[in-house]
A and B are shown apart, each in its own frame.
Chain A
Amino acid sequence: MTPRMFVFQLLGVLGLIVVLGLNIIIMDWWERKLIGHIHVRPGPMHTGFHGILQPFADMVKMLAKEDVVPTEADKLFFWAGPMIAVVPAFLAMVVLPLAPGFVLADIGHGLFFVFAMQTIMPFGFTLIGWAAHNKWSLVGGLRSAAQLISYEIPMLISALAVVMVAGSARLTDIVDAQATVWYVFKLPVAFALFLVTAVAEMNRTPFDMTEAESELVAGIHTEYAGMKFGLVMMAEYTAMLVGSWMIVLLFLGGWNLWPLPPSPLWVVLKVYLLQSFIVWLRGTYPRLRMDRIMELSWKYLIPAALANLLAVGVLVIVFKGF
């Protein structure tokens, strides 16, 4: 741990915060724009060029919006809940590489670390929902917690198939192993499972149980005003970024775009394409019912993921070069 290292890391963390902020700004605008176009309307238009300043305006407004704390709310977690939701998502970003070597902490268990961070999120959501002392929030929080914990397992198991084939959980290694053939082609089943579960982990339509606007007013953040609401949104957008980034790294070849030379640009491109796809899903589908969501995970996805894992295991043993 040299001082240079320390400064480097400090800068890296600052950079990540910028990425976090930039991502939410870009995605907020892009999502509204995209949904707008799906709805045959222009979306944000008159705040800056094609509404590009819209997220900034929202941000400024949220900063200057009163922070209502309900009398009966649990003061501590009403305040700390959004934090608990944001920080793990942010931490997960630390191990995600943009290019070989271009990563803050290229730890050997990068993949597992992301999942470990993701397990904290349901806890955060439960606390957010519980602290508000509001029935909608409570139901929303418990729902989202139940959903997140249910989808974590098939997600990890299908990711383990990748680990099995790549023989490493270091994300850079996994990407490098896809220099020619992306795992999406090698492991299509795992990819499909991972995609579905990742969308569920991001709490996006058709799995958007945290918000479930028509059912639970605004879900877990019913009581959260101003910046706290912004923070919850930030956590969700960051989770979306982390999730799509993971998919890109694990299955879509990361910075590889054969036959073009590898470049961090491809990662960014793929990540945002994927996020656009998720927004597109949101613009198309209704929401699944809660019990169907749970059933889907426990009755279909987990057995399927296990079967897939075993099948991949057999393949790896039988065909050494798989």
Chain B
Amino acid sequence: MGLTDSAERPGFILSTVDALLRWGRSHSMWICNAGSACCSLEMLAAGGPRYDMDRFGTMVRASPRQSDILVIPGPITKKMAPVFTRVYNQMAEPRWVIAMGSCAITGGAFRESYSMTKGADTVLPVDVFVPGCPVRPEALIYALLLLRKKIQTTTTVGESHREPVYLPPVLPPEWTAEVDAFLGEGEVCAE
């Protein structure tokens, strides 16, 4: 088990290591390339010449194993939810999630639809929510910096690990029920 796992009261060495690790983690946040919808265009733009996430050491990696942050740039449909959970679960710890855009936060423009989950936080533990539709590239960078602050202030000593996130292999009944309701009655805009 890791050095930083068990220690109860950090001594000098441990706290130095802790500070170093926090610095390293917060300055090298690699994003997992999991584009899904419109917001991923702005994620692309955030890596582009005008905004350039790379200034903060943020690269986009193709494999979830090597990335630290899962940015969810768009709607999580019910078909996509297992994919995102799997990708999240396959990321190496420590890992964080940013819900980018209204779709990922609540479902946004499609919230009432039968095929949508009601936000990323219903399937994944989300750290940062960035409102916008689409999210401006600057706003995404702001969110990254916010997350950096969080990483910097969270001690790595006695790191509390995130519990694994499972999604049942078959769709939850309430999801299908919702579909039935939608197709059957034709009016679900309850609010």
Contacts and interface: CB of A to CB of B under 8 A. Distances in A.
Instruction: Decide if A and B are genuine partners.
Output: yes
B61 to A, nearest CB: 7
B20 interface: yes
A47 interface: yes
A218 B57 contact: no
B48 interface: yes
Contacts of B20: 60
B42 interface: no
Interface string A39-69: 1111111110001011011111101111110
Given A47-B57, A51-B55, A65-B94, A223 B65 contact: yes
Interface string A290-310: 000000000000000000000
Interface stretch (B23-31, B102-110, B115-123): B23-31
Contacts of A59: 24
A57 B63 CA distance: 20
B24 A64 contact: yes
Interface string A83-108: 00000000000000000000000000
B92 interface: yes
Interface string B69-86: 000000000000000000
A143 interface: no
B23 A60 contact: yes
Contacts of B23: 57, 60
Interface stretch (A17-25, A224-232, A250-258): A224-232
B84 to A, nearest CB: 16
A42 B55 contact: yes
Interface string A186-199: 00000000000000
When A and B form their complex, which 6 residue pairs have the shortest distance between CB atoms, in order from nearest?
A60-B24, A57-B27, A45-B55, A225-B92, A218-B63, A225-B65
A interface, size bucket = 35 or more
Contact of A218 (B48, B52, B62, B156): B62
B93 interface: yes
B68 A61 contact: yes
Interface of A: 32, 36, 39-47, 51, 53-54, 56-61, 63-68, 213, 217-218, 221-226, 229
Contact of A213 (B24, B48, B62): B62
Contacts of A51: 55, 57
B54 interface: yes
Contact of A65 (B48, B54, B92): B92
Contact of A221 (B48, B66, B92): B66
B27 A47 contact: yes
Contact of A68 (B24, B57, B65, B94): B65
B168 interface: no
A42 B27 contact: no
Interface residues of B, number: 27
Nearest to B63: A218
A32 B92 CA distance: 24
Contacts, number: 100
B56 interface: yes
B54 A57 contact: no
A47 B148 CA distance: 12
Contact of B65 (A45, A61, A222): A222
B167 interface: no
A64 B21 contact: yes
Contacts of B28: 47, 54, 57-58, 60-61
A177 to B, nearest CB: 43
B49 interface: yes
Nearest to B27: A57
B191 to A, nearest CB: 41
Nearest to A59: B24
A54 B57 contact: yes
Nearest to A40: B49
A41 B48 contact: yes
A154 to B, nearest CB: 31
Contacts of B49: 39-41
Contacts of A224: 65-66
A32 B63 contact: no
A229 B27 contact: no
A213 B4 CA distance: 34
A61 B25 contact: yes
A53 B92 contact: no
Nearest to A68: B92
Nearest to A47: B27
Contacts of B4: 64
Interface in B17-65: 20-21, 23-25, 27-28, 48-50, 52, 54-57, 61-63, 65
